[in-house]
Amino acid sequence: DAGITQSPRHKVTETGTPVTLRCHQTENHRYMYWYRQDPGHGLRLIHYSYGVKDTDKGEVSDGYSVSRSKTEDFLLTLESATSSQTSVYFCAIQRSGITGELFFGEGSRLTVL
Amino acid sequence: GENVEQHPSTLSVQEGDSAVIKCTYSDSASNYFPWYKQELGKRPQLIIDIRSNVGEKKDQRIAVTLNKTAKHFSLHITETQPEDSAVYFCAASIAGNQFYFGTGTSLTVIP
């Protein structure tokens, strides 16, 4: 589907290296989110953004930072990747304003060796 | 923060039977409850949602009910078909952001 893309879709890295995942939207929505998905845990919120340079922490934010310098891009950075951060990461945009649905990207699978 | 519990974690039904997935939430301020379906290797996709001022909502074979007093909501799928096989997630949202998800239910529809 058009509207939101994530890159890279797959990445293998080593413990201690920095990693940045990119989420790009073409729909000009204000709210964007980063989730991680792990078996038995469902989807857990890492960080979210409610505008350019406006971000806040979610329930599992330790070890992650985010930046949003443009409406269309929301970056998730792992400063020093650990094996516990091996996961599938989903970005989402919130359509129709604050009461709208979440629309997810296709996900980025990260493996930290 | 909000805590959403979802049961069962796995569910198998015969084609044509009904399936029910239940979720509970902890924060009475939650006012929006979406349900997402995720097929293997794909992104979660919204299938139905309900807001706190409504008790029930239906869309063809799918329905969602909400009991605000008991803080639980349920997904009902009738006349199940093999293509309904997927993982289903419930979620609760406070003030329209910070969605909290359940841990998922893997539904298998046996032909």
Q: How do residues A26-74 score in pLDDT, each as one tens digit?
A: 988 999 999 999 988 899 999 999 999 999 999 899 999 999 999 999 9
Nearest CA distance, A57 vs chain B (angstrom): 10
Confidence at residue A1, expressed as pLDDT on a 0 to 100 scale: 53
Instruction: Using pLDDT thresholds of 50, 70 and 90, give the confidence band for residue B25.
Output: very high
Instruction: Using pLDDT thresholds of 50, 70 and 90, give the confidence band for residue B53.
Output: confident
Confidence at residue A97, expressed as pLDDT on a 0 to 100 scale: 59
Q: Is the pLDDT at A98 greater than 60, yes or no? A: no
Subunit contact B101:A43, Cβ cutoff 8 A: yes
Who's near A17: CB < 8 A, 6+ residues apart? A80, A81
In this structure, what token pair is assigned to residue B14?
């015969």
Instruction: Using pLDDT thresholds of 50, 70 and 90, give the confidence band for residue A100.
Output: confident
Task: Tell me the mean pLDDT in the region B81-106.
Answer: 92
Confidence at residue B2, expressed as pLDDT on a 0 to 100 scale: 85
Residue of A nearest to B91 (CA): A43
Confidence at residue B97, expressed as pLDDT on a 0 to 100 scale: 74
| Average pLDDT of chain B, as a whole number | 94
Nearest to B21 by CA among B91, B81, B108, B105: B105
Write out the residues of chain B at the interface with chain A, using a CB-CB cutoff of 8 A: 1, 6, 32, 34, 36, 42-46, 49, 51, 89, 91, 95-104
Confidence at residue A113, expressed as pLDDT on a 0 to 100 scale: 96
d(Cα B102, Cα A3) in Å, to the nearest integer? 26
Instruction: Using pLDDT thresholds of 50, 70 and 90, give the confidence band for residue A80.
Output: very high
Q: Is the pLDDT at B40 greater than 70, yes or no? A: yes
Task: Tell me the mean pLDDT in the region B67-85.
Answer: 96
CB pairs under 8 A between A and B: 52
Nearest CA distance, A40 vs chain B (angstrom): 6
Task: Tell me the mean pLDDT in the region B12-41.
Answer: 96
Q: Is the pLDDT at A11 greater than 70, yes or no? A: yes
Could you tell me the end-to-end alpha-carbon distance of chain B, in angstroms, rounded to an integer?
41
E-assigned strands of chain B? 4-7, 10-14, 19-25, 30-38, 45-51, 56-59, 62-67, 72-77, 86-94, 97-101, 105-110
Confidence at residue A67, expressed as pLDDT on a 0 to 100 scale: 97
B94 vs A113, more confident: A113
> Of the candidates B42, B97, B104, which has its C-beta nearest A48's C-beta?
B97
Q: Are A76 and A21 in contact (CB under 8 A)?
A: yes
